[in-house]
Structure 1
Amino acid sequence: MAFRSIAAMKCKVSGIGSKMSRPLTLYMDETGNRHPDKKSDASRQGRDWFGFGGILVKGEDNDEVRALRQSFAEKWKLGDNPAHITDMLSEHKKFAWLGRVSQSQRDEFWDDWRKVLCRAPVMGLGCVVDRPGYVARGYLKKHADAWRLCRSAFDITVERAVKIARLEGRKLHVVFEQDAAINESITNYFKNLKENGLEFDASNSAKYEPLTQADFAETLGRIQHKPKAHPVLQLADSYIYAMSRHAYDKKFALYRHLRDAKRIADFALENEHLPHMGVKYYCFD
C-alpha cells in the first residue's frame, strides 16, 4: 500500500533530507478557474470549483509510476498525447475516438486508466475551493485581485505536503504543470513560503497546527514547472479533478475507486493527521 509507513508514524521529525531518505515530490495541476471574480460558465452550474493539487510520489517509486502510465499509453497508442482527464471524459480533441468505439472498448479503456491511478504508489492531496463560497465569505473584497484562488490553494496544499514529508524525514520538491501566465506567480508562492512562511490569519488557522517559516525552509527543496505531457503530471491531473468533483458529485466513480484503493490522503493517513494533512475543502458550507 502506498505511504504505508506514513500512516503508522507519529508526528515526530528527525533527519530531514538525510542521505538515507530519498525526497518526496508533489506533482500539482489545476482544475477550474483560479479567478474568484470571473463569472462561471453555464456548464459548471452547481459545481463551480477551483482545485490545485495532485499526487505525492516518493523518490524510490517514481520509475514505477512512470512505467504504469507508459504501459497504458503504449496499449492505447496515445503517442505524445497526454491523458488529460477532461478531454477523456468529454471524448474531445485527441480522445474524440472514444466516442466512436464500441462500449466494451470504451469500458476497457477506462478500466485500464483506473488501474493505473489505483495501482500507482502515490497519495492524492490538494485543496478545492468553492468559488461562490469564497465570494460569499467576503474574501474577494478582503484580498482583491492581489490574492487569487491559486495562492490560497497552493499554500494550503504545499503546507500539508510538507507536514507529510516531515513525518518521513524527507525533503519536499514541487513540480507543477506549466502555464506561461502563472509560472512566475507559482514559483514566487513557493519562494515566499520558504522565506516568510504562511500569511493566513493566525487566529483562524491555529486549529490546523500551521508550520513555521523555519519548518518550510528546512523541508522545501526545489520547484519546477513541466509541460502537460509530463507522465506523472498526467496522473496528478486525474487525481485533482476527482478530488474536486467529489465535493459536488458524491457518486463520481473515479473518486470512489481511488478511495477504495486508499490512494487519497483522507484514507491513506491515520485519523489523527486528517484535520491538518488531509484534502482541504475550502469555503464549502
Structure 2
Amino acid sequence: MPEKLLLFLDDSGSRNPDHQPDVRVDCLDWFALGGILVLESDVREAVDRHKAFTDSWGLDYPLHSTKIRGRRKQFSWLGQDAGRAARFHAELAEMLLEIPVVGIACVIDRPGYNGRYKEQYGEDRWLMCKTAYSILIERAAKHARRSDCRLEVFYEGAGQQEDRNIGEYHKALKTIGMPFDEGRSEGYGSLTADDFGDLVLGDAQRQTKANALIQIADLYLYPMVKGGYAPTYQPYVDLTDAHKLADNIVDESEVASLGVKYSCFDIQKGERPDR
C-alpha cells in the first residue's frame, strides 16, 4: 500500500465575508485554513517531540497559539516571568522547527475578498471557508501525488454547521472537482474529481485540540497568516529559513500552485502580488 500523507488543519478568523473584526493594532483581517503535512511514518516522532516538550514544562493542557501569544488563561503565567517566558518560547520554536512536518495553508484577506467579489455577487458570496478548503486540499493532494502517497485529512472541529460545511466541501471535491471558474483557474493545474477520488482517502476526520498534531497545526498556521502581511515576522522567517513551509520544498516556479496560498492580497495591499 502507498504511504499516507496526512494533513492536519485548523482555522483562523471568521468565515463570514461580512464579519466585522475586533480592533487589532495591526489592522489585519483574514480567514485562513491550514496547518501541517506529515508522512504517516513520521507521526510517532512528531508526537513524541511534542510530548517531550509539554512534559518538560509540566503542561497538562493543549498548546494553543492564541492563548500563548496573548498570555491568556492557562498561559497567563507567560506574562509573569519574562525570563521563563523567553525560555518557553525558545524551546517551543526549537520543537516546531525540528519536527518532521511541513506547513501549508490558504490565507484570504477579507477586505480584498470583498473588494473582488462583493459588488458582483453580493449576498451570494461563498463563505470564505469554501474557497480556502478547496485550495488547501488540492495543494495537499498535489503534494501527496508528488510523493507517491495518498492524502488523509484531519481537521479541528469548530461547530456543528462549520463541521458540516467541511464534510460537504470534501465530498464535492470528489464528485464535482474544484468549484472555481475554469477560465480563472487555468494555469493552476486544477485536479479533477477523479484525481481527488484517487488521491484523497475517505472523509475528512474531525479532531479536538487534544490531538498533538492539531496543536502543531495551530502553532504553524498563525505564522503563515502573519507572514502574508509582514514577511519579516520572526516566527514566519524562522519557518522559512528552516525550510518548513510548502514554498520551501518546491521550485520557485511551482510556488503559485503548490506553496502557501495568499488570496486577494493584491486588491488592498498592493505591495504583494496575489498567489
**TM score, norm. by length of structure 2:** 0.92
Q: Does 1:134 align with 2:106?
A: no
Please list every run of at least 4 consecutive aligned residues from structure 1 whose deviation after the TM superposition is greater than 6 angstroms: none
Contact kept? 1:134, 1:140, Cα under 8 Å: no
Shift, 1:145, TM fit: 5.3
Q: Does 1:66 align with 2:70?
A: no
Cα pair distance change 1:30/1:88, threshold 3 Å: same
Cα distance in 2 between the residues matched to 1:258 and 1:30: 19
Aligned pairs (5 A) from 1:209-220: 209-220=189-200
- Residue identity over aligned pairs, in percent, reads 35
Shift, 1:252, TM fit: 1.4
Cα pair distance change 1:44/1:138, threshold 3 Å: farther
Which residue of 32, 43, 58 corresponds with 1:51? 32
Unaligned runs of 5+ in 2: 267-275
- Which structure has more RCO (C-alpha within 8 Å, separation ≥ 6)? 1
Amino acid paired to 2:53: F
Which residue of 63, 69, 72 corresponds with 1:92? 72
Which residue of 125, 130, 151 corresponds with 1:151? 130
Aligned Cα root-mean-square deviation (Å):
1.4
Structure 2 equivalent of residue 171 of structure 1: 150
Unaligned runs of 5+ in 1: 1-18
| DSSP 3-state at the match of 2:205 | strand
Shift, 1:274, TM fit: 1.4
Structure 2 equivalent of residue 25 of structure 1: 6
Which residue of 121, 124, 141 corresponds with 2:103? 124
Question: Which digits, 9 at most, give the CA deviation of each residue in 1:211-269, with x for residues without a partner?
Answer: 11111110010320101121001110011111001122222111111111100011122
Aligned pairs (5 A) from 1:233-252: 233-252=214-233
Cα pair distance change 1:234/1:143, threshold 3 Å: farther
Aligned pairs (5 A) from 1:196-275: 196-222=176-202, 223-275=204-256
**TM score, norm. by length of structure 1:** 0.89
Shift, 1:104, TM fit: 2.2
With 103-112 and 150-159 compared, the bigger mean Cα shift is at 103-112
